[in-house]
């Protein structure tokens, strides 16, 4: 991240503020007082990222709270397989790198925009000041971190215990759960490169392409370049359950 951008000095945000932000009602910030929001807003900026642009890298220090205002983001980690493994998918209004911020550690993963995205940045000191003085917010953060841990453990079981077919079916179901369908109610509302889909399922791109082809022949899905059309959701769920 660029120091000037995250401090809000060179990142005009069109007049947005924590006080009038419509997304706060769906986030950790819901329920904060006007004065608390004012403190958070005093050192807040917005930065826009193009698809494929890195938001933060593994090993960098956390400078504040990052809220995904719009777009889609993947979080990946190196060393889990031959390629960087995608460990989570994010959508508005998820908070990115929260663990590093709370534990005051460097980021243990890398966040990258899957499509054009906007990120709100709230200064570390301001957020921790409000967190320390607001028991309800502290409980929300603890619950969110516990949920993240549970989800990560469940994903690890999927990636280590299921066969290739089960892992790819599970990856497609995860994409549907996180991002839903487009207006046709059958096309996944996200477009991934085959290498990204493989990273999500912890397999090589060659295996991902091969199994996608098999799924298409079984009339479970249909592909059109990066678009994936789900034709038999229950069939994918059965494959995922069988592992």
Contact 91, 72 (CB under 8 A): yes
Q: Is the pLDDT of residue 11 over 60?
A: no
Residue 154, domain member (yes or no): no
183 and 121 within one domain: no
Mean model confidence pLDDT for the chain: 88
pLDDT digits (tens, 9 = 90+) for 29-38: 888 888 998 8
pLDDT digits (tens, 9 = 90+) for 195-241: 999 999 999 999 999 999 999 999 999 999 999 999 999 999 999 99
179 and 142 within one domain: no
Residue 132, domain member (yes or no): yes
Last residue of a domain, one of 120, 148, 176: 148
Last residue of a domain, one of 148, 177, 204: 148
Residue 201, domain member (yes or no): yes
SS (H, E, C) 82-143: CCCEEEEEECCCCEECHHHHHHCCECCCEEEECCCEEEEEEEHHHHHHHHHHCHHHHHHHHH
Counting residues of the chain whose pLDDT is more than 70, the rounded percentage is 88
Last residue of a domain, one of 116, 148, 180: 148
pLDDT digits (tens, 9 = 90+) for 84-107: 889 899 999 899 999 999 998 999
121 and 68 within one domain: yes
Dist CA 5 CA 23 (whole Å): 21
Cα–Cα–Cα angle for 236, 240, 242, nearest 5°? 115
Residue 155, domain member (yes or no): no
Residue 157, domain member (yes or no): no
Residue 118, domain member (yes or no): yes
Supply the DSSP string of 27-96, one letter for each residue: STTTT--HHHHHHHHTTEEEEEE-TT-EEE-TTPBP-EEEEEEES-EEEEETTSSSSPEEEEEE-TTPEE
Residues β-bridged to residue 9: none
pLDDT at 8: 37
Of 201, 178, 197, residue with least CA distance to 189: 178
167 and 144 within one domain: no
Contact 78, 58 (CB under 8 A): yes
CATH number for the domain harbouring residue 137: 2.60.120.10
Q: Is the pLDDT of residue 27 over 60?
A: yes
Alpha-carbon dihedral sign for residues 63, 67, 71, 77:
positive
137 and 30 within one domain: yes
63 and 35 within one domain: yes
38 and 94 within one domain: yes
131 and 181 within one domain: no
118 and 55 within one domain: yes
Residue 156, domain member (yes or no): no
Find the mean pLDDT for residues 1-19.
47
Residue 223, domain member (yes or no): yes
Q: Note the pTM of the prediction, 2 decimals.
A: 0.87
9 and 121 within one domain: yes
Quote the number of domains for the chain: 2
Q: Which residues of 168-189 are buried (b: 16+ CB within 10 A; e: fewer)?
A: bbbbbbbbbebbeeeeeeebbe
Domain span at residue 194? 162-242
CATH number for the domain harbouring residue 181: 1.10.10.10
166 and 144 within one domain: no
């Amino acid at each position: 991240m660029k120091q000037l951008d995250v401090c809000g000095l060179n990142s005009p945000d069109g007049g947005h503020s924590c006080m009038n932000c419509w997304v706060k009602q769906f986030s950790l910030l819901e329920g904060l007082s006007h004065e608390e929001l004012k403190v958070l807003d005093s050192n807040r900026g917005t930065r826009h990222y193009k698809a494929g642009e890195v938001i933060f890298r593994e090993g960098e220090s956390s400078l504040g709270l990052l809220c995904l205002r719009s777009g889609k983001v993947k979080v990946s980690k190196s060393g889990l397989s031959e390629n960087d493994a995608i460990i989570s998918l994010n959508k508005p209004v998820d908070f990115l790198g929260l663990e590093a911020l709370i534990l005051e550690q460097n980021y243990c993963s890398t966040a990258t925009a899957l499509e054009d995205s906007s990120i709100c940045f709230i200064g570390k000191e301001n957020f921790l000041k409000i967190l320390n003085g607001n028991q309800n917010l502290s409980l929300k953060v603890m619950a969110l971190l516990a949920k993240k841990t549970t989800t990560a453990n469940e994903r690890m079981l999927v990636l280590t215990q299921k066969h290739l077919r089960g892992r790819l079916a599970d990856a497609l179901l995860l994409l549907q759960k996180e991002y839903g369908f487009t207006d046709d109610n059958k096309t996944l509302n996200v477009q991934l490169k085959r290498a990204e889909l493989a990273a999500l399922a912890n397999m090589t791109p060659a295996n991902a392409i091969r199994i996608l082809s098999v799924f298409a022949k079984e009339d479970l899905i249909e592909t059109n370049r990066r678009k994936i059309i789900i034709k038999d959701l229950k069939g994918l769920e059965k494959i995922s359950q069988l592992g």
